[in-house]
Amino acid sequence: MGLGRKGLYRGTQMIRLLGEFWVTSGQLLTHPWDASAYLIAGEEPTLIDCGSTQGYAALKRDLQKFGYEPRDIRRIYATHGHWDHVSAAALLQEESDAELYIHEADREQVETGDFNMTASFLYDKPFPPAKVHGTVKDGEIIRINDFELHVHHTPGHSRGSVCYWTRFYGMKLLIAGDTLWGGYHLRIGSDLDEWTRSLDKLLMLEFDVMTVGHYPPSLIFDAKRQVHEARQQIGVYYNPWFKPFHTVFRY
């Protein structure tokens, strides 16, 4: 039974964005270090990203408030292979048969738990290696319940970053992950030239709203304009003083 038919349970932290599309993890929902993750509810409950190991207990608790157990999750589709987006995958797989799908370029780092390529060094936390059951490819169409997700490979933040485009009840939605406003570092395989081309690619799409990896749990409207502005800003100036999340500074 889908969440749309069961309704919103009192006390849950999940937030409905569009129909059966819910935001289920994020810095304001599960853990301050978590990226946004999403649940497509229905007969085959599916996650887009799943957050971090630090937020997994909260994710599990909120799924249970909706009447779901970890074992009910069928698949996880990753936007890319970083700690804050998918390090919880191994924990979820300990309690379920959830299959993880990711772009081939980010597959090895997730299966080995590479400390650098998964951006784990920013959090000083290990990335538990997770089993990857398959890959997503540019141009692929994924069917989830009654919806179709179109895969767009958008390297730049990471080599295997992807965006998902779909329609929910007539609304054109772009799930952009960290392709929009993600961080840059050579240790995670970032590439400005590829990133610029990826943003140009997104600007060729039509979409009404979008979600990104690090944002309050809501839809972003006027989305096309914001992608255009992001394209104008990319590479203009770097912040070399970015603070690792696990470090506390005193001034």
Q: Which helix (H) or strand (E) element contains residue 56?
A: helix 56-65
Question: What per-residue confidence (pLDDT) applies to 5?
Answer: 34
Q: Answer yes or no: is pLDDT of 99 > 70.
A: yes
Q: So what's the pLDDT on residue 10? A: 38
> With bands split at pLDDT 50, 70 and 90, how would you rate the model's confidence at 11?
very low
Query: What percent helix, strand, coil does the chain show, rounded to 5?
Result: 30, 20, 50
pLDDT of 154 > 70? The answer is yes
Structure pTM?
0.93
Specify the pLDDT at position 32. 95
Q: Mind listing the pLDDT tens digit for each residue in 103-113?
A: 999 999 999 99
pLDDT in tens, 158-200: 999 999 999 988 899 999 999 999 999 999 999 999 999 999 9
pLDDT of amino acid 14? 87
Residue 9: the pLDDT is 35
CB 172 within 8 A of CB 207: yes
Closest C-alpha to 40, from 177, 136, 154, 149: 149
**Comparing C-alpha atoms, which of 136, 122, 128, 92 is closest to residue 110?**
128
pLDDT per residue as tens digits for the range 105-146: 999 999 999 999 999 999 999 999 999 999 999 999 999 998
CA distance 219 to 18: 9
Residue with more model confidence, 149 or 67: 149
Please give the pLDDT value at position 146: 87
Q: What is the pLDDT of residue 33?
A: 97
Question: Is 2 a residue whose pLDDT tops 50?
Answer: no
Alpha carbons 97 and 9: distance in angstroms, whole number: 25
3-233 domain in CATH 3.60.15.10?
A: yes
Domain ranges of the chain: 3-233
